[in-house]
Amino acid sequence: MRVLIVEDDPEINQLLAAYAQIAGFQPDCALTGEAALTLVATGTYSLVILDVMLPDIDGMEIARRLRTNPATMHLPIVVLTALTVDSTRRTALELGVQAFLNKPFDPDELIRVMRKWAKG
Protein backbone atom coordinates (compact mmCIF):
# COMPACT_ATOMS: atom_id res chain seq x y z
CA MET A 1 0.00 0.00 0.00
CA ARG A 2 1.17 3.49 -0.83
CA VAL A 3 1.18 6.39 1.59
CA LEU A 4 1.71 10.05 0.69
CA ILE A 5 3.80 12.05 3.15
CA VAL A 6 3.38 15.83 2.93
CA GLU A 7 6.01 17.52 5.10
CA ASP A 8 8.16 20.54 4.19
CA ASP A 9 11.08 19.71 6.50
CA PRO A 10 13.29 17.31 4.48
CA GLU A 11 14.67 15.56 7.57
CA ILE A 12 11.24 14.94 9.08
CA ASN A 13 9.98 13.90 5.64
CA GLN A 14 12.72 11.25 5.40
CA LEU A 15 12.05 10.11 8.95
CA LEU A 16 8.33 9.72 8.23
CA ALA A 17 9.16 7.76 5.07
CA ALA A 18 11.35 5.41 7.12
CA TYR A 19 8.53 4.84 9.63
CA ALA A 20 6.10 4.23 6.77
CA GLN A 21 8.42 1.56 5.39
CA ILE A 22 8.71 -0.04 8.84
CA ALA A 23 4.90 -0.12 8.95
CA GLY A 24 4.86 -1.92 5.59
CA PHE A 25 3.94 0.99 3.33
CA GLN A 26 5.52 2.31 0.16
CA PRO A 27 6.01 6.05 0.84
CA ASP A 28 5.89 8.87 -1.68
CA CYS A 29 7.06 12.22 -0.34
CA ALA A 30 6.06 15.80 -1.10
CA LEU A 31 7.75 18.89 0.33
CA THR A 32 5.02 21.30 -0.81
CA GLY A 33 1.26 21.37 -1.07
CA GLU A 34 1.35 21.70 -4.86
CA ALA A 35 3.58 18.63 -5.13
CA ALA A 36 1.17 16.73 -2.89
CA LEU A 37 -1.86 17.66 -4.99
CA THR A 38 -0.02 16.60 -8.15
CA LEU A 39 0.91 13.24 -6.63
CA VAL A 40 -2.63 12.61 -5.38
CA ALA A 41 -4.01 13.40 -8.84
CA THR A 42 -1.69 10.91 -10.51
CA GLY A 43 -1.43 8.13 -7.92
CA THR A 44 -3.48 5.85 -5.74
CA TYR A 45 -2.86 6.15 -2.02
CA SER A 46 -4.07 4.29 1.05
CA LEU A 47 -3.32 7.20 3.38
CA VAL A 48 -2.03 10.79 3.50
CA ILE A 49 0.20 12.05 6.32
CA LEU A 50 -0.27 15.83 6.18
CA ASP A 51 1.63 18.67 7.84
CA VAL A 52 -0.34 21.87 8.39
CA MET A 53 2.35 24.52 7.94
CA LEU A 54 3.61 24.20 4.37
CA PRO A 55 5.42 26.86 2.32
CA ASP A 56 2.78 27.25 -0.39
CA ILE A 57 -0.63 25.82 0.53
CA ASP A 58 -1.87 25.41 4.08
CA GLY A 59 -2.38 21.77 5.05
CA MET A 60 -5.99 22.48 6.04
CA GLU A 61 -6.62 23.78 2.51
CA ILE A 62 -5.15 20.58 1.09
CA ALA A 63 -7.43 18.53 3.34
CA ARG A 64 -10.39 20.67 2.21
CA ARG A 65 -9.54 20.07 -1.46
CA LEU A 66 -9.16 16.34 -0.90
CA ARG A 67 -12.52 16.19 0.88
CA THR A 68 -14.36 18.10 -1.86
CA ASN A 69 -12.95 16.02 -4.72
CA PRO A 70 -15.08 12.90 -5.40
CA ALA A 71 -11.93 10.94 -6.31
CA THR A 72 -10.25 11.63 -2.95
CA MET A 73 -13.09 12.42 -0.55
CA HIS A 74 -12.71 9.07 1.25
CA LEU A 75 -8.90 9.07 1.36
CA PRO A 76 -7.79 8.76 5.00
CA ILE A 77 -5.82 11.77 6.26
CA VAL A 78 -3.62 11.91 9.34
CA VAL A 79 -2.58 15.44 10.32
CA LEU A 80 0.86 15.70 11.90
CA THR A 81 1.74 19.20 13.07
CA ALA A 82 3.65 21.33 15.54
CA LEU A 83 0.57 23.54 15.93
CA THR A 84 -1.16 22.89 19.22
CA VAL A 85 -3.93 25.47 18.87
CA ASP A 86 -7.36 23.97 19.57
CA SER A 87 -8.85 25.71 16.53
CA THR A 88 -6.42 23.86 14.25
CA ARG A 89 -7.44 20.51 15.71
CA ARG A 90 -11.12 21.46 15.50
CA THR A 91 -10.79 22.53 11.86
CA ALA A 92 -8.99 19.30 10.99
CA LEU A 93 -11.64 17.17 12.64
CA GLU A 94 -14.43 19.17 10.99
CA LEU A 95 -12.78 18.40 7.65
CA GLY A 96 -13.02 14.72 8.49
CA VAL A 97 -9.39 13.82 9.10
CA GLN A 98 -8.98 10.45 10.76
CA ALA A 99 -6.30 11.43 13.27
CA PHE A 100 -4.47 14.49 14.56
CA LEU A 101 -0.97 13.99 15.98
CA ASN A 102 1.28 16.65 17.46
CA LYS A 103 5.01 17.03 16.85
CA PRO A 104 7.13 15.79 18.39
CA PHE A 105 5.38 12.49 17.79
CA ASP A 106 5.78 9.00 19.19
CA PRO A 107 6.94 6.73 16.32
CA ASP A 108 5.00 3.76 17.70
CA GLU A 109 1.80 5.81 17.85
CA LEU A 110 2.34 7.06 14.31
CA ILE A 111 2.81 3.52 12.99
CA ARG A 112 -0.27 2.32 14.89
CA VAL A 113 -2.37 5.17 13.47
CA MET A 114 -1.07 4.53 9.95
CA ARG A 115 -1.97 0.85 10.13
CA LYS A 116 -5.37 1.61 11.64
CA TRP A 117 -6.51 4.11 9.03
CA ALA A 118 -4.85 2.97 5.80
CA LYS A 119 -7.36 1.64 3.34
CA GLY A 120 -6.25 -1.14 1.11
**Of the candidates 114, 117, 113, which has an alpha carbon nearest to the alpha carbon of residue 25?**
114
Residue type, 56: D
**For residues 86-91, average pLDDT:** 87
* Percent of the chain topping pLDDT 70: 99
Cα(32)–Cα(58) distance, rounded to whole angstroms? 9
Cα(35)–Cα(119) distance, rounded to whole angstroms? 22
Q: Is 64 exposed, middle or buried (0-12, 13-18, 19+ CB in 10 A)?
A: middle
Can you give the pLDDT at residue 120?
60
Cα(65)–Cα(6) distance, rounded to whole angstroms? 14
**Of the candidates 41, 61, 42, which has an alpha carbon nearest to the alpha carbon of residue 50?**
61
Average pLDDT, the chain: 95
Domains and CATH numbers, the chain: 2-111 (3.40.50.2300)
**For residues 58-87, average pLDDT:** 93
